Amino acid sequence: MQTTEQLQKYVQEKIKLHPELKSAIISLFQLCLDEIEEGGSREHEIDLCVTDIDQTINESLEESKRL
């Protein structure tokens, strides 16, 4: 994934699949955009964002399994 537009589509898909995590996912997306705006490498920040979103989802799924 190389563009913020691609990331935005990814974020929208993940929110549809995991609406309970909407706030967390949007926060991670906004952080990514802020970091890019402040001069961070677009590719690096997008990669970090995807990793963080996936980790948030996986942690939530693991938590659900324990309940």
**pLDDT tens across 50-63, in order?**
999 999 999 999 98
Structure letter (DSSP) for residue 3: S
| 51-to-10, 27, 66, 67 alpha-carbon distances in Å | 12, 14, 23, 25
2 phi/psi in degrees, rounded to 5? -125, -15
Task: Say what the pLDDT of residue 19 is.
Answer: 97
Higher pLDDT, 13 or 1: 13
**pLDDT tens across 4-42, in order?**
999 999 999 999 999 999 999 999 999 999 999 999 999
Task: Say what the pLDDT of residue 27 is.
Answer: 98
